[in-house]
Amino acid sequence: MIMKLELKATDRYHSTPVSKKLASNFIELGYGLQVEGMAAEMFFNRSFEPFYPYRMINKLWYDLLDDENDLSSRCETDWRVFDWYHSSYEHNAWFAFPGTAGYQPVCDDSTFIIEDSEGGNVHISLIPDDHHGAYAMRVINKGEAAGGLAQDGKYCFPGIRYTFSGALRRVSGEGKLKAAFYKEGTVTEPVCVKELGEITGEYSEVSAVLEVPEEGRYTFVLIVPANNEVVCDDFSLTPSDAIRGFKKSAVEAGKYVAPKVIRWPGGCFASFYDWKKGVGDKRLPSYSYFWGGYQYNDIGTDELATYAEAAGGESMICVNMYHPFKRFYDYVPEELLDRDPNDRTLPAALHGRDLIEFSDKAEGARQAALWVEYCNGDASTEGGRMRIKNGREKPYGVRYWEMDNEVHRWFRAEEYAEECVAYSKAMKAVDPSIKIGMISYCYGLEKLKTMVEIAGDHIDFLADRGISEDELEAKLAIINNYNEAHGTNIKYCNTEWLPLNGADVYNMVPRSETRVNKCYMFSKWTYALDAASTLMMWQRHGDIVDFVNFNNLANTHSQSVLETPKEGWYITAPGMMMHMFANTKAYRTLVIDGYHPGRNDAVQVQLSMNENGDALVLNLLNRSEEDGEIELDLTAFDVPDGRYKGVILKGDSLLSMNRLNDQQVREYPSGITVEKKHVKTAVERLS
């Protein structure tokens, strides 16, 4: 049955012009393998630290458990079974060479270290050593032939130079050490081998440039002569076409999607982030307190801000607001927030560390202000001098700063609003032009009114979540009432949104009886079509909706708009949709008589004017598996008859998805015909 809409356009506008920043994104360090898959660094565990297991919250969001309501149920350890899997999700083991590694299951007891060689008398092991981090790798070759330390999974291209560097010290033996590439799976002849410098009993910094004759997968090997013992630390392997810490392909993908504002470094990760650990030359690895695993800090403020610039957008930083409860807890129930934060026996969620450095509220505001200086200050400021010393003369000019994430974990509503005032004063004393965002999704509408009354003169936007138009309009009413009464210009932003139907406003997706879980749905065309409906909703509300950050940007078990396998990059189904909205010419949406699309309407129509006021932009959405038809009366406009060009984005199935070399969602040329100021056209299924 064909669904039909007969509509009449008007020349009345819904609201103010549409923000140009609705197609924005979100990078969270420590969640998924976002930056690891985007980063130029090619080694897994380059600093040789014990691998900390992923925490349960990570496993739940990865949809690894058979039953998310039973935390003791089986956890999938072979990620290759998932349709979102690609080469950048590998956990490549270090192994004693000659030998092989193969796929490594991801278990709580995984070490990603294979200590004994298969074809020689070589042994590797972690030893305590503080040269870079807490451990180093010891390599003992007791054999009669060369052996060493190896890692698979280096996807290399001819014409690119790969620079290896590392710190080595010799415990015993003599002879030259070498860096080499072997074709993955072979142990006989290297395709490229370079001698390293002299190695002594003290750490020496060594380097070599390696090249390959053809595209493919290679194994890196540190070749150690027979009868030698050496200790290794702080390894690195990067390609010559890297762009400030990122693979060239990751930057190319970012330019295609074109996010206008990129939120970083979290998310939940931001609540325990010390930004100073991610700047400068000596960056040490640290445990990822919220998600588990290891955070190597190779990607930090300079890299993320530069990436946003390279992708054609700007940065929004999520700030760690210090609180006494953060010392020991991920989350404290509201009824316990008047208890002693130093009491580890509270029935609350312990994170397993003593983070006393994040417990002083006043110090948190000082560190946030220093971060603003680092990003935006000149040489007259402490932070500006730090940035210049680290190689960036020009300030980044980061405008947007969000006050933490999911703050109900530690703060009462009024307490949080008061801290927003304190942070805003400290940070705007450094740069009065910045915009401060206060979270608006934690405490309910009545509490939000109180929070806005407390902090309204010191904030510039609400940092919201959720996709309900009713809730959006209720929060816009709070903003508008305050702005009108106080002469302020507070905007609405949504800094972390997921469009899936059936999700509640805090981004959780219920498991269906058929175990069609969220990570399965995130990558599918049905999810992207839902995103289009949500973005069209925000367009209708004008520029009081300033920016909205789709969750996430890259490599999050399909919860992303782009994926960066080692072989290259591709855009997911939602990414194709985001690209379309990033490049829209819609400037101001127009009222259609008697028509307001509901979020779940299968067929939706939106008409807008372009910025010059001399062209109409028509969006047609059909989320169903049946064709639709619309007839649109354009007599309110002087539109000449004729054929007008456009594009159509479509997939063959609700479950169509894009993978590397398998693009099931595509963009095609299309168009409509105007006859006697009327449009009558089919609206193709799933488009």
Give me the percent of the chain exceeding a pLDDT of 70: 97
Residues in the chain: 687
- C-alpha dihedral sign at 413, 415, 421, 426: negative
pLDDT for 68 = 80
Residue 372: band (very low, low, confident or very high) from pLDDT cuts 50, 70, 90: very high
Whether the predicted pLDDT of 395 surpasses 80: yes
Query: How many Cα atoms occupy the beta-carbon half-sphere of 182 within 13 Å?
Result: 23
Residue type (1 letter), 386: M
* DSSP H or E run through 455: helix 445-455
Decide: 20 and 278 in contact? Cβ < 8 Å. Answer: no
Q: What is the mean pLDDT of the chain?
A: 94
The reply to whether 290 and 143 lie within a common domain is: no
Q: 61 in a domain, yes or no?
A: yes
Q: 235 in a domain, yes or no?
A: yes
Give the residue from 517, 538, 568 where a domain finishes. Answer: 568
CATH of residue 147's domain is 2.60.120.260
**Mean pLDDT, range 212-231, rounded to an integer:** 97
CATH of residue 435's domain is 3.20.20.80
Q: 278 in a domain, yes or no?
A: yes
Residue 515: band (very low, low, confident or very high) from pLDDT cuts 50, 70, 90: low
Instruction: For residue 619, give the nearest of 598, 593, 590, 599 by alpha carbon.
Output: 590
The reply to whether 259 and 181 lie within a common domain is: no
Q: 198 in a domain, yes or no?
A: yes
* Least confident range of 163-177, 504-518, 574-588: 504-518
Residue type (1 letter), 268: C
Q: Cα–Cα–Cα angle for 378, 299, 196, nearest 5°?
A: 110
pLDDT for 513 = 54
Q: 346 in a domain, yes or no?
A: no
- C-alpha dihedral sign at 631, 635, 639, 642: positive
Residue 598 CA: distances (Å) to CA of 111, 603, 604, 620: 50, 10, 8, 14
The reply to whether 490 and 525 lie within a common domain is: yes
The reply to whether 311 and 404 lie within a common domain is: yes
Residue 573: band (very low, low, confident or very high) from pLDDT cuts 50, 70, 90: very high
Decide: 520 and 63 in contact? Cβ < 8 Å. Answer: yes
CA dist., res. 407 & res. 448, Å (int): 13
Decide: 402 and 320 in contact? Cβ < 8 Å. Answer: no
> For 474-485, what is each residue's pLDDT tens digit?
999 999 999 999
CA dist., res. 447 & res. 668, Å (int): 48
> 165: domain range?
56-239
Give the residue from 194, 210, 239 where a domain finishes. Answer: 239
Q: 342 in a domain, yes or no?
A: no
CATH of residue 643's domain is 2.60.40.1180
Structurally, how many domains does the chain consist of?
3
Q: 347 in a domain, yes or no?
A: no
Token couple for 286: 């640290």
The reply to whether 413 and 432 lie within a common domain is: yes
**Mean pLDDT, range 222-239, rounded to an integer:** 97
Whether the predicted pLDDT of 509 surpasses 60: no
CA dist., res. 651 & res. 353, Å (int): 47
Instruction: For residue 98, give the nearest of 70, 84, 118, 68 by alpha carbon.
Output: 118
Whether the predicted pLDDT of 196 surpasses 50: yes
Specify whether the backbone of 231 is left (phi greater than 0), alpha (psi in -120 to 50) or beta. Answer: beta
CA dist., res. 43 & res. 30, Å (int): 16
Give the dihedral of Cα atoms 538, 540, 546, 549; nearest 10 deg: 20
> For 429-457, what is each residue's pLDDT tens digit?
999 999 999 999 999 999 999 999 999 99
Give me the percent of the chain exceeding a pLDDT of 90: 89
> For 23-72, what is each residue's pLDDT tens digit?
999 999 999 899 999 999 999 999 999 999 999 999 988 889 888 888 99
Q: Is 597 helix (H, G, I), strand (E, B) or coil?
A: coil
Instruction: For residue 646, give the nearest of 592, 585, 601 by alpha carbon.
Output: 585
Residue 508: band (very low, low, confident or very high) from pLDDT cuts 50, 70, 90: very low
- The owner of tokens 């549409």 is 18
CA dist., res. 49 & res. 382, Å (int): 32
The reply to whether 460 and 505 lie within a common domain is: yes
- The owner of tokens 């999911």 is 406
Give the residue from 239, 265, 300 where a domain finishes. Answer: 239
C-alpha 94: how far from chain center? 27
pLDDT for 501 = 58
Residue type (1 letter), 256: Y
> For 348-361, what is each residue's pLDDT tens digit?
999 999 999 999 99
> For 634-680, what is each residue's pLDDT tens digit?
999 999 999 999 999 999 999 999 999 999 999 999 999 999 999 99
The reply to whether 515 and 466 lie within a common domain is: yes
Specify whether the backbone of 308 is left (phi greater than 0), alpha (psi in -120 to 50) or beta. Answer: alpha
Contacting residues for 512 by C-beta, under 8 A, at least 6 apart:
none
